[in-house]
Amino acid sequence: MVLHAHRPQPRSMTPAMRPAAITLFVLLVLAQVGVAVFSLWEPAFDGKIHYAETVDLGGSYWPMNVLLGGPSYAVTFVAAAVFLAVLGAGSRLALVGSVVLGVGGVVFALVITAEVLPFAWAADPDVVDPATGREVFTAFNDELDAFVPYVVGSMAAIAVGVLLAVIGATLVGGLPRWILAVAIVLLVATFAAPMGSAAATGVGLLERVMWLLIGWFGLQRVLRGA
């Protein structure tokens, strides 16, 4: 009788990953709600931040940005990056895209939060009087171009990252091809829609659906043990 050495079978990672994946998806859902609420609450950005609109928000302007807007965007991109890495398992393209998406998303969240801090101070009558605040707004708005490379650069990284990751995940069968078509259309629309327009708001809401779809497919893959 020939004795064969027992070779332990690799254990499925599903039992360990299931609660983590469910938690991550819940966070992704909450982040989409957070971004939607923040986007509808915040005055439309048309290239400038206006004193009258900001001062009307009172003391909620900075907390809403630092506790809701920024974190919601950061969680969105990081969670989506993780799910895309799962969906694109075995694809270097998906892995690279997921990393670029996650890093670019975190930078974007940090930049848009940092951008409003000087305006939050200038709109606070406990910090400066209204006349001075208006002057500071004018001066800061004149220098907003300094943020453009960071905002546009991080947005470009997000676009490139999600496109690479979705292509990689599609090629290995992790995502249906129509998700790739949706991602491309929304990426084009994001850069084409005028800032502060109703179209931009609508595109933003559709993006929330796209991230949820990606998260849902990723969650189902983990639950199935694929």
pLDDT digits (tens, 9 = 90+) for 19-76: 999 999 999 999 999 999 999 999 888 889 999 999 999 889 999 999 999 999 999 9
Rounded Cα–Cα distance for residues 181 and 24 (Å): 25
Q: Is 122 among the domain residues?
A: no
| Cα dist from 121 to 59, 64, 134, whole Å | 10, 14, 11
Q: Is 141 among the domain residues?
A: no
Q: Torsion over CA of 22, 98, 28 and 76, rounded to 10 degrees?
A: 160
Please write down the long-range contacts of 180-185, taking CB distance under 8 Å and 24 or more positions apart: 182/210, 182/213, 183/210
Q: Is 24 among the domain residues?
A: yes
169, amino acid identity = A
Name the DSSP letter for residue 225.
Answer: T
Q: Is 200 among the domain residues?
A: yes
Q: Is 153 among the domain residues?
A: yes
Q: Whole domain around residue 95: which residue ranges?
A: 17-117+149-224
pLDDT digits (tens, 9 = 90+) for 81-123: 999 999 999 899 999 999 999 999 999 999 999 999 999 999 9
Based on the structure, what is the number of domains in the chain?
1
Please write down the long-range contacts of 146-150, taking CB distance under 8 Å and 24 or more positions apart: 147/111, 147/115, 150/107, 150/111
Q: Is 138 among the domain residues?
A: no
pLDDT band for position 225 (cuts 50, 70, 90): confident
For position 215, what pLDDT does the model report?
Answer: 97
